[in-house]
Amino acid sequence: MKFANTLKSALLGLAVLGLAAPAMADQLSDVKAAKKIVTATDMHYAPFDMLVNGTYQGMTKDLFDGVAKEIGAEPVYQDIPWTAELPGLEVKKFDIVIAPVTITPERLERYAFSLPIADATVALVHAKNSKLTKPEDIKGKTVGVQQGTAQFRQLEAYGKELGGVNIKEYGTTDEAYADLAAGRLDAVVGSLPNLTYLVKNRPETFALFEPATFGKPTYFGWVARKDKDSESFIKAVNAALLKMTDDGRVKSIQEKWLGKYTELPREVPAAK
């Protein structure tokens, strides 16, 4: 009888402890409960993200609208300077960074990436009247690039190979394009989709180098936190992207903003 009472008391104590213990955190559950996904992006990165008469639009928005709908939550879009996005993600100011972020081995060690959303191969653009043609012509020239980007690091490495390039960093690509048009730069480095869009819309001012690209092929993805809490969330994002790929929505969005469709990997590229 005494043993039974002791056992009963022990089980009751465990039950109380169980009720008192906090539930395991899960970002996907939190997002669904809140019915919103808080995002961060830089709305000065056409054609992915841009403000047109104060309204946010672009390829990223179209893609993430579809992803959020599949998850069952409303997206909250925030315009955040690129240099503040990944630090803000780490301290949980938002759920995901949807600015196109180049997938690199270093970043894969620290963050969880979505499936690729676009090609991110580094490329060069010059002013229409420039005498520069090939990528190697930037040797000794002044080249603009957005600060803190993978494109900056690739330009830095390429400049060393060439024997020296004067690199000027900018907060946004729009600022770099303005200086290029004004003759204060010899070229601007960016991802191929961004520069193709720029030349398509301003052919009287800019032209791509021939060939336009240098370095290894790379991809853009979105970024989430790399922890147990966030695993279900990034899996849901990737499942939505695959569904949108298979039903043709990704193709339609790419053609709308980039003018062509590029088949993308169905897995996140491995760190090498």
Q: Tell me: the pLDDT tens digits for 78-105? A: 999 999 999 999 999 999 999 999 999 9
Both 76 and 194 in a single domain?
A: no
Question: Dihedrals φ, ψ of 237, to 5°?
Answer: -60, -45
Question: Is 7 inside a domain boundary?
Answer: no
If asked whether residues 206 and 244 sit together in one domain, one would say no
246 phi and psi angles, rounded to 5 deg: -70, -30
Using the predicted structure, report yes or no on whether residue 3 has a pLDDT greater than 50: no
Same domain, 74 and 50: yes
Mean pLDDT of 131-154: 95
127 and 114, same structural domain? no
At 247, list the tokens: 């039903």
Asked if residue 142 and residue 92 are part of one domain, the reply reads: no
Can you give the CATH number for the domain in which 206 is found?
Answer: 3.40.190.10
Three-class SS of residue 128? coil
Residue 4, in any domain of the structure: no
**Full-model pTM:** 0.79
Q: What are phi and psi of 24, to 5 degrees?
A: -65, 135
Distance between CA atoms of residues 21 and 141, nearest Å: 62
Kindly state the percentage of the chain with pLDDT values over 70. 90
pLDDT value of position 199: 94
Same domain for 144 and 98: no
CA-closest candidate to residue 126, choices 203, 71, 69: 203
**Domain limits for position 49:** 27-119+218-258
Q: Are residues 133 and 205 in the same domain?
A: yes
**Over residues 210-222, mean pLDDT:** 92
Residues 46 and 106 in one domain: yes
Mean pLDDT for 248-262 is: 93
* pLDDT (average), residues 234-263: 95
Collect all residues with Cβ–Cβ distance below 8 Å to 4 and sequence separation of at least 6. none
- Confidence tier at 216 by pLDDT (50, 70, 90): confident
Question: Would strands 118-119 and 166-170 be described as parallel, antiparallel, or unpaired?
Answer: unpaired
As a whole number, mean pLDDT of residues 206-228 equals 94
What pLDDT shows up at residue 2? 45
Residue 14: the pLDDT is 44
Q: Are residues 81 and 142 in the same domain?
A: no
Cα angle 83-265-216, degrees, rounded to a multiple of 5: 60
Residue 8: its pLDDT value, please? Answer: 53
User: Looking at residues 2-22, what average pLDDT do you find?
Assistant: 47
Q: Are residues 52 and 95 in the same domain?
A: yes
Task: Say yes or no to pLDDT of 12 above 70.
Answer: no
Distance CA 230, CA 119 (A): 25
161 and 35 housed in the same domain: no
